[in-house]
Structure 1
Amino acid sequence: LGQWDREMNAGAMSMSGLSTGLPMSPQSERVHALDIAGNVIDGKLTLSVMYDKQEYQESTMRVLLDNYKKQLLSIIGHCMQQTKTELTPSDVGNEEVPLDVFEELLTELNEL
């Protein structure tokens, strides 16, 4: 959903202390069996997970989120160890380019 620190620090917005309540009625038909939303406030990532309890067990969701956290921390660790900027396909355009093709293109550009 975004990163709100800049807007909040500038005084453009503030967080309400009131509960937002449920984003949708528990009786409504779900578009997706699993819905994950996230935002960053005060430098902290918060995830909201909604799921169909008839399709997923709470223990399954806990395992999923534990693995998500583990993988996210691994990505953060990788990025923090980098000493130079590394481009990814999303950095250079909207076209979907497989990573192996992108890496071949970068190699060719570096050889010019």
Structure 2
Amino acid sequence: GIGSTLLPEISFNYLGQWDREMNAGTMSMSGFPTGFQVSPQSERPHALDIVGSVMDGKLTLSVTYDEQEYRDSTMQGLLDNYKEQLLSIIEHCMQQNETELTPSDVSIEPLSLDMFEKLLTQLEEL
């Protein structure tokens, strides 16, 4: 269909948690600046490039975007909202006394929340 030719406008790349590697002494962060990830002259494949990693128990997100297309204040608002939602999820999870299944626990293939809820309902009825 037509939808299959559309490319996502947001790229999210989680690089992982680096605490153990750093503590083991196998790797260390360079003090040198990384420079541009993509040439400023090249056409951007995504409107937003979001890269996340965890270091020293802290999540760091960096957002790369076209300043002609987005204001800095808009991007700051996006990150503030992301942080607020993330803290809300953490608070919810901390209040749970029992573990709960999520779609990624039961399927390798992408599973919609609607289908996941139907499967849970069917399991409870058994």
TM-score (norm 2): 0.81
Quote the residue 1:32 is aligned against.
46
Counterpart CA distance in 1 for 2:44 and 2:113 is 33
Counterpart CA distance in 1 for 2:67 and 2:31 is 28
Quote the residue 1:21 is aligned against.
35
| Cα distance, 1:10 vs structure 2 | 1.6
Gaps of 5+ in 2: 1-14
RMSD: 1.4
Q: What number of residue pairs does the alignment pair up?
A: 112
Identity level (%): 74
SS in 2 for 1:32: coil
Quote the residue 2:63 is aligned against.
49
Opposite residue 77 of structure 1, the aligned amino acid is E
Q: Which moved more, 1:29-38 or 1:16-25?
A: 16-25
Q: Which moved more, 1:26-35 or 1:37-46?
A: 26-35
1 or 2 for the larger relative contact order (CA 8 Å, sep ≥6)? 2
TM-score (norm 1): 0.90
Gaps of 5+ in 1: none
